[in-house]
């Protein structure tokens, strides 16, 4: 499916989008790679798609666990469920990835990261992971790529679903939803709840920090799409997730109450046979309350406006778009500057002509705090044979300093400059009926890297040096027989600070996963393996974390067309491994990770 775009400025806010064509069924297309729907075989970027069937088949209880199995993804976590978790995409920093939920940002503008631990899988229908520099499409922060999450939507006759499960650490999970369409109206409403006693976040034997650190979450999504006339629809969306997590801080009471929320309205209009327009207005918020010996509140509000126009030309698709982002922070911390605005203008072009494919993007961002940046990307693909295709691309990106890095009292550096990057990659892809795979080689150079000054200058953030991340990712899937399927990926990389030659914090040189599944009639069985080489908890590479390998098992049984039983056993060999330490001194302790654990659930999903 091809579409094209024509953009007009509407006149208000910034550069990080709300895109995706809400009226388009995204089951068989990829949107994130170009901001317009593309058939998977035409996509030039390095993209992974996780659909709802894979989410349910994997049986993971958290989004972070699911992402850990994907190509180029590493994770870190400061304890069990609900504790702070980070995603490293292709060796870049945790704040080098743009995360969108139904096209809207809901990250913290003070920290610069998204609270993955408070995004429940129960609300997610599909995930698209775009790896590589993507500021030419999405503006600031997309140095490592983009993760776009689509929540559940309605289609067809009214459909009810429900799930309930119980597992180790007294973990309870429940979800329910209704979705469907009536005449010209599509609708969906889904709710979920999770509660767990979990375990102690720190590996400490006595004291306040030795107790379990429980977590609970309640989330809801709703959307309504109304057809106004042929080619014209109006979509309203809402998402909210509230997580209440305990953590270890040396006091009897240490917990965080965090609410992520987004809501928006989208007008999708096919004005002419060649002109499709998408106008979206939305708000994403992250509100966090810290109850501890040092209590505080941090709130981020991001107003987002996007007008995207897609034009179908005689040859190719033209996209013109205007995005505006207004960021505002508030709370108990007195930031000297509490808001900033960003305006972004985008022109993109897609062409598929015979064996050749081309994608070009150019974007200009003007920010009230750090000035203007021009980024872009160019990619080319050639079908050597119907099965084999070669691709090559070049892209630039930048990351805006966070409000904490700029303005936190006694810490921030208002003169910080944005980090910038240049990413080059080549790929070789094979796609046949039962077997497909790809090899992607990449080189990402990041300048003006933001780091702490350290003694004797203090611990404020400064622009210091350059990092270079070179690597290659191999991934593939093989339908061995009608019953057996093998999937896997492996990444070899060198994510280093060029000024010291040391590995970037908590980044490995080798990591990957393998998944073998078997299906026969109502039974499905699977075994997963995921692992990583050694990493370091500090920039000097003196605080070492050993490599690890974990094995997980999954199983499901369809009792009848409507009811099924699902089970997942994680870390079945009860391996002791470390993803993060509390610090870098001899007295620092490891954050705990889950041992062997089991979760069993019952799903009702009428066909």
Residues above pLDDT 90, as percent of the chain: 83
Question: Per-residue confidence at 456, pLDDT binned at 50, 70, 90?
Answer: low
**CA distances in angstroms from 380 to 289, 348, 391, 530, listed in the order given:** 47, 14, 6, 32
> What pLDDT is stored for residue 252 in this prediction?
76
Residue 19 neighbours by CB under 8 Å, 6+ apart: 31, 35, 103, 278, 280, 306, 308, 321
Mean pLDDT of 324-331: 97
* CA dist., res. 406 & res. 373, Å (int): 18
pLDDT of residue 253: 78
Helix (H) or strand (E) holding 428: strand 419-431
Angle, CA 116 vertex, CA 113 and CA 122 arms, to 5°: 150
Burial of 137 (C-beta count, 10 Å sphere; 0-12/13-18/19+): buried
Written as one string, the DSSP assignment of 497-561 is ETTT-PBPTT--SEEEEEEEEEEETTEEEEEEEEEE--EESSTTS-SEE--EEEEEEEEEEESSS
Task: Let me know if 456 is exposed, middle or buried by CB neighbors in 10 A (0-12, 13-18, 19+).
Answer: exposed
Model's pTM, two decimal places?
0.93
Q: Considering only 55-69, 364-378, 393-407, 554-568, which range has the smallest mean pLDDT?
A: 55-69
Q: In whole angstroms, how far apart are CA 2 and each of 32, 70, 186, 275, 315?
A: 14, 28, 24, 11, 10
Neighbours of 560 (CB within 10 A): 8
Q: Alpha-carbon Rg of the chain, whole angstroms?
A: 23
Domains of the chain by start residue, with CATH:
151-604 (2.40.170.20)
Question: What pLDDT, on the 0 to 100 scale, is given for residue 210?
Answer: 82
pLDDT, tens digit, 9 for 90 and up, residues 168-203: 999 999 999 999 999 999 999 999 999 999 999 998
User: Looking at the DSSP assignment, which residues form a beta bridge with residue 5?
Assistant: 310
E strand or H helix that includes residue 227: strand 215-229
Contact 522, 559 (CB under 8 A): yes
Alpha-carbon distances of 389 from 43, 148, 171, 471, 519, rounded to whole Å: 11, 25, 46, 20, 31
């Amino acid at each position: 499916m091809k579409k094209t775009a024509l953009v007009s400025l509407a006149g208000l806010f910034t550069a990080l989008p709300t895109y995706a064509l809400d009226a388009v069924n995204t089951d068989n297309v990829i949107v994130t790679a170009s901001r317009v729907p593309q058939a998977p075989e035409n996509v030039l970027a390095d993209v992974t798609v996780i659909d709802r069937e894979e989410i349910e088949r994997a049986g993971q209880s958290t989004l972070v666990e699911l992402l850990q199995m994907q190509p180029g993804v590493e994770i870190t976590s400061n304890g069990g469920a609900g504790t702070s978790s980070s995603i490293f995409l292709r060796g870049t920093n945790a704040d080098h990835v743009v995360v969108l939920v139904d096209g809207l940002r809901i990250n913290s503008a003070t920290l610069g990261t998204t609270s993955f631990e408070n995004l429940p899988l129960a609300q997610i229908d599909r995930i698209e992971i775009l790896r590589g520099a993507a500021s030419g499409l999405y503006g600031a922060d997309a140095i490592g790529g983009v993760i776009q999450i689509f929540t559940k939507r309605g289609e067809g006759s009214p459909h009810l679903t429900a799930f309930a499960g119980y597992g180790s650490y007294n973990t309870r999970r429940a979800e329910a939803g209704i979705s469907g369409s009536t005449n010209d109206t599509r609708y969906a409403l889904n709710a979920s709840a999770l509660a767990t006693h979990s375990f102690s976040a720190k590996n400490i034997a006595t004291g306040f920090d030795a107790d379990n650190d429980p977590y609970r979450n309640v989330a809801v999504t709703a959307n309504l799409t109304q057809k106004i006339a042929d080619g014209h629809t109006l979509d309203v969306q809402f998402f909210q997730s509230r997580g209440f997590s305990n953590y270890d801080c040396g006091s009897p009471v240490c917990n965080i109450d965090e609410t992520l929320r987004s809501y928006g309205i989208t007008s999708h209009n096919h004005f002419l046979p060649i002109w499709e327009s998408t106008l979206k207005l939305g708000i994403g918020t992250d509100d966090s309350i810290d109850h501890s010996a040092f209590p505080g509140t941090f709130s981020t509000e991001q107003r987002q406006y996007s007008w995207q126009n897609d034009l179908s030309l005689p040859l190719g698709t033209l996209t013109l778009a205007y995005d505006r982002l207004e960021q505002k922070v508030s709370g108990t911390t007195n930031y000297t500057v509490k808001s900033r605005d960003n305006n972004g203008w985008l022109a993109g072009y897609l062409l598929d002509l015979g064996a050749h494919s081309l994608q070009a993007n150019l974007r200009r961002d003007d920010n009230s705090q750090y000035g203007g940046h021009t980024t872009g990307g160019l990619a080319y693909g050639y079908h050597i044979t119907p099965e084999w295709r070669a691709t090559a691309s070049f892209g630039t990106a930048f990351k805006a300093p966070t409000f904490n890095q700029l303005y936190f009292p006694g810490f921030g550096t208002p003169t910080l400059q944005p980090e910038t990057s240049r990413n080059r990659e080549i790929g070789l892809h094979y796609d046949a009926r039962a077997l497909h795979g790809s090899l992607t080689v990449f080189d990402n150079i990041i300048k003006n890297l933001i780091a702490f000054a350290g003694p004797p200058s203090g611990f404020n953030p400064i622009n210091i040096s350059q990092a270079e991340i070179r690597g290659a990712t191999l991934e593939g899937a093989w339908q061995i027989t009608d019953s057996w399927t093998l999937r896997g990926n492996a990444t070899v990389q060198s994510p280093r600070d060029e000024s010291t030659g040391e590995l970037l914090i908590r980044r490995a040189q080798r990591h990957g996963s393998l998944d073998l599944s078997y299906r026969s009639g109502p039974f499905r069985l699977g075994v997963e393996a995921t692992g990583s080489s050694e990493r370091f908890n500090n920039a000097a590479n003196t605080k070492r974390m050993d490599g690890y390998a974990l094995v997980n098992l999954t199983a499901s049984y369809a009792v009848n067309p409507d009811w099924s039983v699902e089970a997942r056993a994680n870390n079945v060999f009860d391996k002791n491994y470390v993803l993060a330490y509390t610090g870098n001194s001899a007295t620092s302790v490891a954050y705990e990770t889950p041992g062997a654990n089991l979760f069993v659930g019952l799903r009702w999903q009428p066909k």
